[in-house]
Amino acid sequence: MSALCVVQARTGSTRLPGKVLLDLGGRPVLAFLLLRLLRGELPVVVATSTAPGDDDVARLGDALGVPTVRGSEADVLERFRAVAAAWPAADPIVRITADCPFMEAAIVDQAVAVHTIHGADYTSNTLSRSFPDGLDVEVIARSALLEAAAEATRQDEREHVTPFLQRHPDRFRLAGFCSGDDLGDVRLTLDTADDLRDLRARLDAVDDHVGAAWRRFLGSRPAPGDVEVRPRCTDGPLDARRFALVVRGQEVAQLVIGLRHEPPVVHGHVPEALRADVLRRLSAWLAMDLQRGPLTSLGP
């Protein structure tokens, strides 16, 4: 069996309608992404909806020689099940969303390699974020995808494909991988008109748009603040979330947050004057963490 790369795309975005077909570097956003992915070895499929507005998505895929599977606009998990049915030898299945135009084949390859080495059911670079927002990739074992499609009932589990897997670490082996840098606060995604302006500006500073490695789109970064809470990421199975508290460039504490609701384990000293700020920053990092849930205390 071999991996299959599935790009989820539709035109029905509420905040930026038709965003996947907007111009980025002289191409529709979706075409820009597909051309970057097609530089790799994995076959690529577009999963879109049967809504009339997505006819252009299917036509774009056809024009680039990329197969398209169409299904429910709301039940995206069912769309992915349909892809799995159409490619019965595909395992694992890689999920990428079309609002991540700077994604590249090298990140997909890294994700699949980590997934395979650790025998994971679900692998992502978003569970412990060190890649920029907008370079998100998920790798799903075929069996896990089919279990989720058969059992998931919550609306967000059907719409966002993988929450069912993330909510059941007792059933599914989860793994993560890292960029090697602390870049989780960088935004390379397309969600708003401001995002589009920013992506276009980043693109203008680079030649060879389709072939450029993702780091070339980073540009200059603002100087770090006096106080930072940085994710600490390691490749492999995930049993906790780890962060470093950095004050004026010096790491003063490490915070290990288990996947249950107990307070963090703190190695080092969090100054009393910073505790409320650190808790706020940690809570922001964990806001979308389906395994952890809210953080209410740093403990004693």
Q: Where are the domains of the chain?
A: 2-176, 227-286
Compute the distance between CA of residue 155 and CA of residue 166 in angstroms, rounded to an integer: 15
Q: Is 200 left (phi over 0), alpha (psi -120 to 50) or beta?
A: alpha
The model's pLDDT over 17-62, given as tens digits with 9 standing for 90+, comes to: 999 999 999 999 999 999 999 999 999 999 999 999 999 999 999 9
Compute the distance between CA of residue 225 and CA of residue 204 in angstroms, rounded to an integer: 28
Compute the distance between CA of residue 239 and CA of residue 246 in angstroms, rounded to an integer: 23
Residue 14's pLDDT is: 87
% pLDDT > 70, the chain: 99
Residue 191's pLDDT is: 96
Q: How confident is the model at residue 3 (pLDDT cuts 50, 70, 90)?
A: very high
Residue 2's pLDDT is: 93
Q: How confident is the model at residue 83 (pLDDT cuts 50, 70, 90)?
A: very high
Q: Minimal CA–CA distance to 131: which of 209, 188, 74?
A: 188
Q: Minimal CA–CA distance to 90: which of 135, 126, 34, 139?
A: 139
| Identity of residue 44 | V
**Mean pLDDT in residue range 277-299:** 83
Q: Minimal CA–CA distance to 69: which of 80, 280, 243?
A: 80
Residue 18's pLDDT is: 96
Cβ-contact 283, 294 below 8 angstroms: yes
% pLDDT > 90, the chain: 72
**Mean pLDDT in residue range 236-250:** 87
Residue 270's pLDDT is: 93
Residue 50's pLDDT is: 97
Residue 221's pLDDT is: 74
**Mean pLDDT in residue range 238-266:** 86
**Mean pLDDT in residue range 141-165:** 97
**Mean pLDDT in residue range 256-265:** 80
Cβ-contact 298, 275 below 8 angstroms: yes
Q: What is the full DSSP assignment across 16-54?
A: STTGGGSEETTEEHHHHHHHHHTTSSS-EEEEEESSGGG
Cis peptide before 92 (omega within 30 of 0): yes
CA 108 to chain centre: 11
Q: Minimal CA–CA distance to 180: which of 215, 205, 152, 206?
A: 215
The model's pLDDT over 91-140, given as tens digits with 9 standing for 90+, comes to: 999 999 999 999 999 999 999 999 999 999 999 999 888 999 999 999 99
Residue 241's pLDDT is: 86
CATH architecture group of domain 2-176:
Alpha-Beta Complex (3.90)
Cβ-contact 137, 187 below 8 angstroms: no
Q: Is the pLDDT of residue 1 over 70?
A: no
- CA torsion sign, 114 to 116 to 120 to 125? positive
The owner of tokens 């006096």 is: 226
The residues, any chain, with a CB within 8 Å of residue 107's CB and separated by 6 or more, are 125, 131, 135, 137, 214
Helices (H), the chain: 29-37, 55-63, 76-86, 105-117, 142-151, 155-160, 163-166, 193-204, 275-286
**Mean pLDDT in residue range 161-167:** 95
Q: Which residue has the higher pLDDT, 299 or 260?
A: 299
Q: Is the pLDDT of residue 216 over 90?
A: yes
